Structure 1
Amino acid sequence: MNKRILSLVILGGLMLLLSGCNVTNPPPISEESEGFWDQFFVWPLYWLIRESSLLLGDNYGLGILVATIIIRLIVLPLMIKQIKSSKKMQELQPEMQKIREKYKNDPQKAQQETMMLFQKHNINPLAGCLPLLVQMPILIAFYHAIIRAPEIKDHNFLWMALGQPDPYYILPILAAITTYLQSKVMGAVMQNNPQMQMMYVLMPIMILAIAVTLPSALSLYWVYGNLFTIVQTYFLYRDKNTQSSPKGGTAK
């Protein structure tokens, strides 16, 4: 059982869903849009991007940056919960290894004992998937906010039109690179198994393949989000390592 594999499967399904979200002639998004999805997901996200952009000189590229930071700050408590869960999982690795060795001929019993161990220490093995699950509707709403808002779809930022794929593939490449860096940072911090190294390669390739077909605004959000996660992870774990160093007696 590996949370990273489950996360990748979920994200892969999401990317396939996004690639098929190209609805023909979708209605423009507005405050009068009806339906739960439009009222509580697409419209609020569109409003956030629009207002942020207006404050920054009608620059929707920077507005997307502000919206990304706000969204990631909202999801931050889930990330902290993921960190705590991952740390507990690391601490229990010796006990989990003993269970695997003791019941190596009885996988079902080993799984039962492992789940009992998780319950004893109040650990949810799927906690690491929570940030990704929360971001799934946000990504889809982001897509709709872009294609259903002419001021975003027709806006140019740097060399690209936000409503069209990057013609030079620069942004998809950046999305793939930052995805790789984010995976490496998270993997180094959470001490993932060596076999997950293959996923560090497959994940960016998948992101690259999908990003070349998506509006540049969505790829821009992905790049911003990856950079935010890298910086966020560094500071969160740096603080934890600083706090734990006196216990190890390494302070001079």
Structure 2
Amino acid sequence: MESQRNLLLIGLLFVSFLLFQQWTLDQQPQPEPTAQSQSGAPSASQADVPSSVSAAVPNSNADVSAQLITVSTDTLSISIDTNGGDIVAASLPQHKVEQDGAEALTILSEHYVAQSGLIGAQGPDGQGERPQYQTTATSFTMTGEQLVVPLSYTDANGISFEKRFTFIKGSYDVAVEYVVNNNSNQNAQVQMYTQLKQTTSVEEGSMFMPTYRGAAFSTADERYEKYSFDDIADANLNELTQGGWIAMLQHYFVSAWVPSATNNNELYTRHVGNYAIIGAKQPSVVIAAGTAATMGADFYVGPKDQEALSALSETLNLVVDYGWLWFLAEPLYSLLMFLHSLVGNWGMAIIVMTLIIRGIMYPLTKAQYTSMAKMRNLQPKMQELKDRFGDDRQRLSQATMELYQKEKVNPMGGCFPMLLQFPIFISFYWVLLESVELRHAPFFGWIQDLSAQDPYYVLPVLMGLSMFAMQKLQPTMANMDPMQAKIMQYLPVMFTVFFLWFPSGLVLYWLVGNLVAITQQLIIYKSLEKQGLK
């Protein structure tokens, strides 16, 4: 098979990939007009909290903040509402909205909150209104390795509830814990719930950055499952599982509740007005009179740091979603991380990784061009067979296969190496799209963010020129279809246009790969000429 046909096949596959990405984008929920949220729509902390499957998770229209507690650590800036003790705001001081900017990236805000509480017969959140917690201060700043923020509430029966938020230096994980002292003269039954509530009026990714924003969960049977805003609107999730977790995803960042791994937890979703809710309820706990009990869950809000997420749950790192080619993307990510630890620059790590991948594929590339050269040399014999057998396709096919076996030629040998590049390309595309380490990662000169497109389009143009040079090195068949030849001429232009919007790190990978391929072609051609093959 001729190289031009292979290149055309790659172009068609590439376009199919883009069309698939656009189809995926079309299936995602469309953003609603933002004017609704600006014209009297309730905030996430004010909107109704849905009923759970069997008991009422608080239905609190009067979720109006009485007081906000601010908490500052090296990694988190958080606001906690004393009405219910919800986390109603969270920003990340170490991650800026813009590169080299001063504004910290906000994850949780007015329309996206993390809630937790105690329901049940004696649960303070199951009595129609949220408990009004007391606190020792309105502002907490971490000065050591750990910071504990205590909230306290005592109900009419004398049962005291302490809600503790424990922050660890350098961590995006917050341990949320309830200590219940039953000072009444009867048993108390409580049940802890945790949930994330977010408006569905959010912007989705573009055609070339089809990032997912929505909910996800994990059970003992389903290690990782997306549950989009549309899914939540269509049907309520109701899963009973040991352990598990629930999360809200947004490109490089995630918020997640991880309840006790040893409990049988109930995962649920609700859709209320303009809000999507995903939550988890832990089993009910009966606290005897005069005794105390402790229950809790971990809350994570921050970047998709695979190591940190795996430390909370062995499956939570799967929110770094590499798609159906995860088995290729994961080793590519590991290789990229290792190379960065050696060279200290993400752009250089991409270049070195490209050299390694191309080096590993060199034997296949050499076999490809050798097969193509042999196929070209067989053209006179192929024509003789066509003249001999005429329209007898069965005998022609049999004779052709015998010729291939005699000459030790694999007619598919020219396709495989090129087709193999595409899964690697798509896998690396998802690595760049999902790896927060590459967000705002500089290369040199004008490339200051490898996760964003080249601001001056230099790399895409160079990539197009390198592709044009590769095309010129390919031998041209005299009997090539004129329409096919014209398409081949425009492929470098088409690819250049496509790559204008791709992350510059991906374009760098493809450009370096082309330059290496050109070098390998010249070396292989010289070797073939010595063997008498053009």
Name the TM-score, length of structure 1 as normaliser: 0.82
Asked if 1:5 is matched to 2:292, the reply is no
1:174-224 per-position Cα deviation (integer Å, ceiling 9, x unaligned): 111101111222x13xx5446364344122022112101211111111100
- Matched residue, 1:159: 446
Q: 1:221 to 1:18 in 2, by over 3 A?
A: farther
Q: 1:217 to 1:207 in 2, by over 3 A?
A: same
Residue in structure 1 matching 2:461, options 173, 177, 189: 173
Q: Work out the CA distance in 2 between the residues paired with 1:182 and 1:3.
A: 11
**Structure 2 residues not aligned, in runs of 5+:** 22-208, 213-249, 253-303, 311-316
Superposition deviation, residue 129 in structure 1: 1.2
Q: Work out the CA distance in 1 between the residues paired with 2:395 and 2:456.
A: 54
Q: In structure 1, the residue corresponding to 2:415 is in which secondary structure?
A: helix
Larger mean CA deviation between 175-184 and 231-240 belongs to 231-240
Contact 1:175 1:222 in 2 (8 A): yes
Q: Work out the CA distance in 2 between the residues paired with 1:4 and 1:228.
A: 19
Q: 1:120 to 1:23 in 2, by over 3 A?
A: farther
Which structure would you say has the larger Rg? 2
Q: In structure 2, the residue corresponding to 1:214 is in which secondary structure?
A: coil
Contact 1:176 1:205 in 2 (8 A): yes
Q: In structure 1, the residue corresponding to 2:414 is in which secondary structure?
A: helix
Asked if 1:85 is matched to 2:371, the reply is yes
Q: Work out the CA distance in 2 between the residues paired with 1:235 and 1:6.
A: 20
Asked if 1:129 is matched to 2:415, the reply is yes
Letter matched to residue 42 of structure 1: A
More strand, by proportion: 2
Letter matched to residue 470 of structure 2: Q
- The higher-RCO structure (CA 8 Å, 6+ apart) is 1
Letter matched to residue 453 of structure 2: P
Could you say what the CA RMSD is over the residues aligned between the two structures, in angstroms? 2.8
Asked if 1:140 is matched to 2:328, the reply is no
Superposition deviation, residue 12 in structure 1: 2.7
Contact 2:389 2:396 in 1 (8 A): yes
Residue in structure 2 matching 1:54, options 328, 341, 351: 341
Q: Work out the CA distance in 1 between the residues paired with 2:12 and 2:458.
A: 22
Q: In structure 2, the residue corresponding to 1:128 is in which secondary structure?
A: coil
Q: Map of 1:64-75 to 2, 5 A cutoff?
A: 64-75=350-361
- Matched residue, 1:17: 17
Share of identical aligned residues, percent?
33
Q: Map of 1:107-126 to 2, 5 A cutoff?
A: 110-126=396-412
Q: Work out the CA distance in 1 between the residues paired with 2:384 and 2:18.
A: 42
Contact 1:146 1:152 in 2 (8 A): yes
Q: Work out the CA distance in 1 between the residues paired with 2:305 and 2:411.
A: 38
More helix, by proportion: 1
Name the TM-score, length of structure 2 as normaliser: 0.41
**Structure 1 residues not aligned, in runs of 5+:** 246-252
Contact 1:45 1:142 in 2 (8 A): yes
Name the count of aligned residue pairs.
Answer: 241
Q: In structure 1, the residue corresponding to 2:455 is in which secondary structure?
A: coil
1:15-57 per-position Cα deviation (integer Å, ceiling 9, x unaligned): 542572623234637364449957632222122222223322x
Residue in structure 1 matching 2:306, options 30, 41, 52: 30
Contact 1:3 1:126 in 2 (8 A): no
Contact 1:29 1:43 in 2 (8 A): no
Contact 1:29 1:148 in 2 (8 A): no
